[in-house]
Structure 1
């Protein structure tokens, strides 16, 4: 990877002061559970005792996958571009949740197999009309991989320039559970069968077919001869590599990263193999209904905020979790402490 990122763990010098403030809010110590953990994480990232959530942005990358031609998804690839257009009209789940929680939505065509130039609400960063079929060849070239990373970086930079300090990332790409399952298997050391699920609704027969295709693809790739970046670009989608670039830049700039479901968890798993410190900046919104997601979260030592049986993608699960993150920040800034409230500590 030509671009290098300078991702450091948040400085811990302020940790004792943060913990003291949280512990002395007028409540029993630890009684607000994960909200207290979130507050500590956010304060460390922002290096402050008074954290803020500013101009939240949601970046949705869209791209198609060559392996879709092998029948690994119940949905055809034209659903990708149809949904991208639907997003411009405010008709998607992602639109609803962005509106509800005050996120600016940025819809990015990084590799959709359709001409979307007639839709000005879609940011045109198209690398190609979908990736190649990794059953036969690498999904993308080294140059395309670098382009996808750079596009992700540029999108994060655009958000930061607008005043954003919390970024949520989503995706739209039929068949993208296939590369996600492969990354999970290779990077997580999990048997491939345990990483494959129904995606958008495959039957048992369809899941078996998907497994056979992915197994053949991995055998042809021969993981022992390739490094992390080779593995990412051989199987990944443009929207997935764009998301990795966006996440890495966010961590480099000390911006909160809200992680969605199976695909985005696979992306930050891949990113963490390059830069392990990125996980200090990640908040995992939910545990999805896709088979294997819980195991992937365990690999990442992640504690998801929600478990609602979601598997829509688009970033919807992370968006749903945002009010909990807001509550953690509000707790830190608005709850009184024992001294000011003239309450005797009762723990």
Structure 2
């Protein structure tokens, strides 16, 4: 079932990147004066295989799932909030919904299993695996079959996006307890202690963070030695939505669809995908530096330079959607600025 995970990744178009860089050198500005907007345009050119990239069609997908570890009180919110927030996404009231709508981004919600009921809706893809994962302080979070189903759900979302002509994919997540799962997964993959990776999540006070850290330490003591393989780490310590995002990252790289990576939870999933296939990293752009303390360790491990640092820690894909206008402006300046020749502007002296 999961043979597709090892299919080769696409290769960015170096020729298109070179042509885009040459075009940048002719624009009416000092070389490098637009800073990272210039390199972003060149990177997008390589991904799209054209020296005039654009981002008119962007697709976002929020994967939702509940976590067994939530029973330990690792979140400031009750588990029922996961299903309630799914309804909020679909009715347009969540931050990601607003950010997507304001920018003309199609937003899809994939339900992979929530404790609370989720009503049918045209924007909902209902693919429940189980009501929630198992409590990973006592056993693996999911079976191998459940993990593979979640990975496939991420791949299917990317396929739907590609079929609509998407030029970039944004993956978001919703699940009470999922910063705990992400910190545990990151700890296993990076071989770092829970104290380095555990943060407030939904707004825990210091005592709550200390309790959450102890829960993650228990999970790492139980599973850490068995997590040398990223797929096994996902099975033991991940969530359905985290595995789905890992599958989406793999599918994006295989399809040649750039992935704009959101925050802490999404980056943990992307790290797992990159550990499985390092070439996935070539198709990832990191939107922002989360306020979650563990995110910096993940970004460093992935040699990632995020676009924004706004103190965000909401998840949902909200940070990626906030960074999207920068990428569109990079395309606009690259494609619409005059060249020295067309504007009859004298170039700098030799």
Who is 2:297 aligned against?
A: 295
Of the three residues 103, 106, 111, the one matched with 1:104 is 106
**Equivalent residues, number:** 347
Who is 2:95 aligned against?
A: 93
Matches within 5 A, 1:276-291: 276-291=278-293
Who is 1:243 aligned against?
A: 245
Residues 117 and 124 in structure 1, CA contact (< 8 A), matched pair in contact too: no
Who is 1:2 aligned against?
A: 3
Task: Indicate yes or no: 2:265 matched with 1:257.
Answer: no
Could you list the runs of 5+ residues in structure 1 that have no partner in the other structure?
none
Who is 1:332 aligned against?
A: 334
Distance in 1, Cα, partners of 2:339 & 2:310 = 34
- Of 48-57 and 58-67, more deviation after overlay is shown by 48-57
Residues 8 and 252 in structure 1, CA contact (< 8 A), matched pair in contact too: yes
Residues 241 and 267 in structure 1, CA contact (< 8 A), matched pair in contact too: yes
Query: TM-score w.r.t. structure 2 length?
Result: 0.95
Distance in 1, Cα, partners of 2:194 & 2:215 = 11
Cα-to-partner distance string for 1:3-48 (whole Å, 9 max, x where unaligned): 2332143142343322111122111111111111111111011111
Distance in 1, Cα, partners of 2:103 & 2:223 = 42
Deviation at 1:189, TM superposition (A): 3.5
Cα-to-partner distance string for 1:73-97 (whole Å, 9 max, x where unaligned): 1211111011111112111111110
Of the three residues 62, 72, 80, the one matched with 2:64 is 62
What SS does the corresponding residue of 2:169 show, helix, strand or coil? strand
Cα-to-partner distance string for 1:132-151 (whole Å, 9 max, x where unaligned): 11111111111111111111
Could you list the runs of 5+ residues in structure 2 that have no partner in the other structure?
none
Cα-to-partner distance string for 1:173-225 (whole Å, 9 max, x where unaligned): 01111121122222234332111111111121111111111111111114256
Cα-to-partner distance string for 1:149-172 (whole Å, 9 max, x where unaligned): 111111111111111121111000
Residues 223 and 231 in structure 1, CA contact (< 8 A), matched pair in contact too: no
- Of 228-237 and 336-345, more deviation after overlay is shown by 336-345
Who is 1:113 aligned against?
A: 115
- Stretches (4+) displaced over 6 A: none
Who is 1:141 aligned against?
A: 143
Residues 5 and 249 in structure 1, CA contact (< 8 A), matched pair in contact too: no
Residues 64 and 86 in structure 2, CA contact (< 8 A), matched pair in contact too: yes
Distance in 2, Cα, partners of 1:48 & 1:167 = 18
Distance in 1, Cα, partners of 2:39 & 2:62 = 28
What SS does the corresponding residue of 2:267 show, helix, strand or coil? helix
Of the three residues 233, 236, 242, the one matched with 1:234 is 236
- Of 49-58 and 229-238, more deviation after overlay is shown by 49-58
- Of 312-321 and 298-307, more deviation after overlay is shown by 298-307
